[in-house]
Structure 1
Amino acid sequence: MGGRTSLGLLVVLLAVVGWAVSLWLPEEAPANRRTPPVVTEQPAPSPPEPVDVRKARDHLAGLATVARRPEGMAAYERSVFGGSWTDSDGNGCNQRDDVLVRDAVEVRTGQQGRCDHDVLAGTWVDPYTGRRLVFTDLKEPRQAQAIQIDHVVPLSEAWRSGASRWPEDRRRAFANDLDNLLAVDGPTNMSKSDDDPAGWRPRKGFQCAYATRWIETKARWSLAVDDSERRALGEMLGYC
């Protein structure tokens, strides 16, 4: 009788242990569940971009000064800079794919029409925050939106500092200028919006490179700066 009682207790104990283990073990993910983009919050190490500070300061001093004219923004529409990304260099791929490949830490590409580096997935470091961005499927809208191509000098900023007087083909060329484009974190890009350096700055470690790129873009396209923008750019060059 005692043996049967012990055997019964053992069965009950094993059942309880099995139930507890089942609660502890993680649930297996369904095979068809999409893997979400992974964002590592720790800044990823990246070497600073080489800059010619003296050249940047000379170009900044040579930029024309313009007063802010908010009323001029009433005439601005994104369409004046053209529609979707173009293939400016004739390599078969549009500027978005070119920038994604150029700025990637690692990237997975495929063939799409004439483009032999249509970007499917990859890893990037957002220069504005230093965060490492890993995306598994850039054909999925949610992930594509999470990594964006930013105009360092925004289109509306270009419009109010000289581009409103340009012909359409010059504005389209500016919108697709690779040297004014960066692959960045989507939410950070949205927070930057169309602010100039007086209204928005990236992390301190990137401010020198950011100011230099901003100044060189404005100098290359003969765009003007206002007083607060000029002061902010000078401050950021102090981090070089």
Structure 2
Amino acid sequence: MRRGAWLLIGLVAVIALISGAVGGTQTPDAAPAAVPTASAGSSAPMDAAPEATPQPTPEPTSQPTRTPSAAPTASADSALALLETLPIKGRAPKTGYERAQFGPRWKDVDRNGCDTRNDVLAAQLTDITRRGRCVVLSGTLHDPYSGSTIAFVRGQSTSQLVQIDHVVALSDAWQKGAQALAPEQRTAFANDPLNLLAVDGSANASKRDGDAATWLPKTKGFRCAYVARQVAVKAAYDLWVTQAEHDAIARILATCPAQPAPAR
């Protein structure tokens, strides 16, 4: 056999050996992915549910701001508004005060032929009887200070049951500006119907010369009208109030801010 043929046979054999060796080598399969197992004592399921996506916390809804109720306001013609025009000063000395400083008692200032006391009784009592044109002999008083009803009978021992009160007492006026008034102005003050009320005699006696800081009518429903009248009188005669008096009147009128100041 030729040398070339042998070489060819030998080459084929070598190739066969190499092919066998290569074909017999196996590449190990990749290990399967590990399956997670629950740890001892864990109660979590093998296939845990996906965690929930956290939701944003809603912002609190803002509440409307409540505006406090406005304080009661006084109209321009109210007693509360007029009060704020009165000067506030201390009480002057009572030195020199006498009833006579305010003229004759119950003068006929309106010149109607009747004195002021009888004019007031006739105007403020009901069911009156008279002697002549002026003198009131009897009547019925619905007392604004006590709320009681009083039968008035003129007489030495009975007339005092109904008295005519100066709403702003003469002594109080003297200590709060009336000293500077002319004598005829003080006489007008003492007889001015704006400053006069027919009232229960005992209530008038208890009041004496007190102002609103020291005395008020027993009937609470009349207090607004009472202090409004005091304000009107003091404004009409250029008198002043003390701080305590101003504050007492203001507290009462704050409950009735529309209370009018009575006209003269």
User: Residues 17-43 of structure 1, C-alpha deviation per residue, up to 9 Å, x if partnerless?
Assistant: xxxxxxxxxxxxxxxxxxxxxxxxxxx
Match in the other structure for 2:143: 126
Match in the other structure for 1:63: 86
Q: Computing the radius of gyration over CA atoms, which structure comes out larger, 1 or 2?
A: 2
> For 2:86 and 2:162, how far apart are their aligned partners in 1?
32
Bigger fraction of residues in strand: 1
> For 1:238 and 1:141, how far apart are their aligned partners in 2?
43
Match of 2:114 among 89, 93, 96: 93
Helix, strand or coil at the partner of 2:135 = strand
- Cα RMSD, aligned residues only: 1.6
The reply to whether residue 229 of structure 1 matches residue 250 of structure 2 is no
Match in the other structure for 2:37: none
Question: Structure 1, unaligned stretches of length 5 or more?
Answer: 1-51
User: Residues 106-160 of structure 1, C-alpha deviation per residue, up to 9 Å, x if partnerless?
Assistant: 211121xxxx13100010111111100012x31x111111110000000011111
Question: Structure 2, unaligned stretches of length 5 or more?
Answer: 1-74, 257-264
> For 2:215 and 2:245, how far apart are their aligned partners in 1?
10
Deviation at 1:57, TM superposition (A): 1.2
Q: How many correspondences in the alignment?
A: 182
The reply to whether residue 214 of structure 1 matches residue 235 of structure 2 is no
TM-score normalised by the chain length of structure 1: 0.73
Deviation at 1:239, TM superposition (A): 3.6
Bigger fraction of residues in helix: 1
Deviation at 1:199, TM superposition (A): 0.2
- Runs (4+) off by over 4 Å: none
> For 1:107 and 1:215, how far apart are their aligned partners in 2?
30
Paired amino acid for 1:61: E
User: Residues 42-67 of structure 1, C-alpha deviation per residue, up to 9 Å, x if partnerless?
Assistant: xxxxxxxxxx7852111100001111
Contact 1:157 1:196 in 2 (8 A): yes
- 1:181-200 equivalences under 5 Å are 181-200=196-215
Q: 1:53 to 1:123 in 2, by over 3 A?
A: farther
User: Residues 161-199 of structure 1, C-alpha deviation per residue, up to 9 Å, x if partnerless?
Assistant: 100111111111111011100000111100000000000
Deviation at 1:238, TM superposition (A): 3.0
Paired amino acid for 1:227: Q
TM-score normalised by the chain length of structure 2: 0.66
Paired amino acid for 2:82: H
- State percent identity of aligned pairs: 43
